[in-house]
Amino acid sequence: MHATNAFTLGLTGGIGSGKTTIANMFAELGASLVDTDLIAHELTAANGIAIEPIQNEFGAEFIQPDGAMDRAKMRECVFADPAKKLQLENILHPLIRQETNRAAKNVNGAYTIFVVPLLVESSNWRQKVTRILVVDCQEETQISRVMARNRLSQEQVLAIMRAQVSREQRLEAADDIIFNEGDLTQIHEQVIKLHSQYLQLAKSSLINLEEND
């Protein structure tokens, strides 16, 4: 059986839309999560596998005493210099891909959800998943949630949002949409409904594979 042919869901949404909150609801119901943001974060945490190449290419001053990448310093550096940004991406992207594939092989849920903030932006990701679930909310809601969660200014949140595709483009790419505003109990009901559809799709993709073997 080829795992790449089996049903896989890509879950995406703008910053603060509620991806993590909703992905965790699916995980509680039995789906496996592969969170690319978490993987990316671990790469540059203390003992992360990206630390050595970053130190070699950017210098020891980008590594904190605790062994993690100095995020604030790196953010400043790549923001000011697109070539540096590319250099960092050239280190991180292959490692993210490698670690994502590894994580996807080690799951045992009913089906796998890839949580990918920039899924719509990436043709690789769009090809890799069989279905796309977009978590959507109003832009004002995104802004107020991220300002509260990350203690950022409105301008900082807007700058992050501008670097992502527009809400319309994301919705256009969606097979399914959860409009995440208001009561989370009501959102949970939508998650339960979608989860049962995904279980069916996962089951039928397995049968198709067996027929093709």
- Site of interaction with ligand ADP (CB under 6 A): 13, 15-21, 145, 149, 180, 184, 187
Residue 91 or 187: the one with the smaller Cβ distance to ligand ADP is 187
CB of 167 to ligand ADP, least distance (A): 13
Closest CA to 133 of 112, 147, 102, 150: 112
Residue 128 or 145: the one with the smaller Cβ distance to ligand ADP is 145
Amino acid (1-letter code) at residue 106: N
**C-alpha–C-alpha distance, residues 121 and 179, integer Å:** 20
First to last CA, the chain: 7
Residue 20 or 87: the one with the smaller Cβ distance to ligand ADP is 20
CB of 186 to ligand ADP, least distance (A): 9
Residues in a beta bridge with 13: 135
Residue 132 or 187: the one with the smaller Cβ distance to ligand ADP is 187
* Beta strands, E only, the chain: 8-13, 32-35, 112-115, 131-136, 176-179
Closest CA to 98 of 167, 165, 42: 42
CB of 68 to ligand ADP, least distance (A): 21
Residue 25 or 54: the one with the smaller Cβ distance to ligand ADP is 25
Helix (H) or strand (E) holding 170: helix 167-172
CB of 88 to ligand ADP, least distance (A): 21
Residue 19 or 131: the one with the smaller Cβ distance to ligand ADP is 19
CB 54 within 8 A of CB 88: yes
CB of 179 to ligand ADP, least distance (A): 10
- CB-based contacts of 41: which residues, under 8 Å, 6+ apart? none
CB of 175 to ligand ADP, least distance (A): 18
φ and ψ at residue 120, rounded to 5 degrees: -65, -30
